[in-house]
Chain A
Amino acid sequence: KQEVTQIPAALSVPEGENLVLNCSFTDSAIYNLQWFRQDPGKGLTSLLLIQSSQREQTSGRLNASLDKSSGRSTLYIAASQPGDSATYLCAVSGGGSNYKLTFGKGTLLTVNP
C-alpha cells in the first residue's frame, strides 16, 4: 500500500526567501507525481505533474524534482511571496495503489511580508 509523507507539516518564512518542500513515498513503482496547492476553503489547484520517466518540471518560480528510486520529490519555490501562502499537497499515482492518487497530508506554508 502506497503511503505519502510530507515534511515539514508547517513552514513559516519571510518574503523573498527560497524554500523547499519535501515529499516521500513508500513504493517507487509510481506512474507520476503531482503537486497541488490548496487555499483555505478552496479546491485544489494543480501546480506541476512529473511523469515517472522525468526528473523535474518547472513552472515560473516553481521547480519540482523527482527521484523515483529513492521515493522522493521536492518542490522548490523561489523568491517566495505572501500570495504563495497555502497548503501544498503532494500526490502519487501508482505504486501498489493502481492508478489512483494517494495524497500526503500537506505542508502549510506561510510567507510573511
Chain B
Amino acid sequence: DTAVSQTPKYLVTQMGNDKSIKCEQNLGHDTMYWYKQDSKKFLKIMFSYNNKELIINETVPNRFSPKSPDKAHLNLHINSLELGDSAVYFCASSPEWVGYEQYFGPGTRLTVT
C-alpha cells in the first residue's frame, strides 16, 4: 500500500505552460506539505496545510498555488512555468502539524524547457 503518492512522476513541459501535480495520502494524517528540491539537492518547504487550512506559505512566487480539496489530497498548480521551476517536488504528510514524523512521497521531477 502506497502511503503518500504523487502524480505524475515525471513532467516535461515548455516555458509558459500551466501544470498541476497531485498528491494523495492514505495514512489518515491531518497535515500535508509541498517541498522543492533544487538541482543542488537542497530541500525546502513551500506550503503546508492542516485540515485543509493553509498554515505555512513560504516565499514562493504566486504562480504556485496549492489546493487541498480534502485532508487526504494536496495539489500544486503552477502557472506560467519558468526554467527555474525545474526541480523535484515532494509531497509529505504527518499526523498533526507539530511534533510528528513526516512521510514523503516519491517526488515529481519537473523539467521546464
Contacts and interface: CB of A to CB of B under 8 A. Distances in A.
Nearest to A103: B43
Interface residues of B, number: 23
A73 interface: no
A31 interface: yes
A105 B107 contact: no
Interface residues of A, number: 22
B104 A45 contact: yes
Interface string B76-113: 00000000000000101000011111111111000000
Interface stretch (A19-27, A62-70, A75-83, A94-102): A94-102
A105 B90 contact: no
Given A103-B44, A106-B41, A43 B105 contact: yes
Q: Is chain A's binding surface mostly helix, strand, loop or mixed?
A: strand
B48 interface: yes
B98 A31 contact: yes
Interface of A: 31-32, 34, 36, 42-46, 49, 51, 87, 89, 91, 93, 98-101, 103, 105-106
Interface of B: 4, 40-45, 48, 56, 58, 90, 92, 97-107
15 contacts: A31-B98, A32-B99, A42-B107, A43-B90, A43-B105, A44-B43, A45-B104, A46-B101, A46-B104, A49-B100, A87-B41, A99-B56, A103-B43, A103-B44, A105-B42
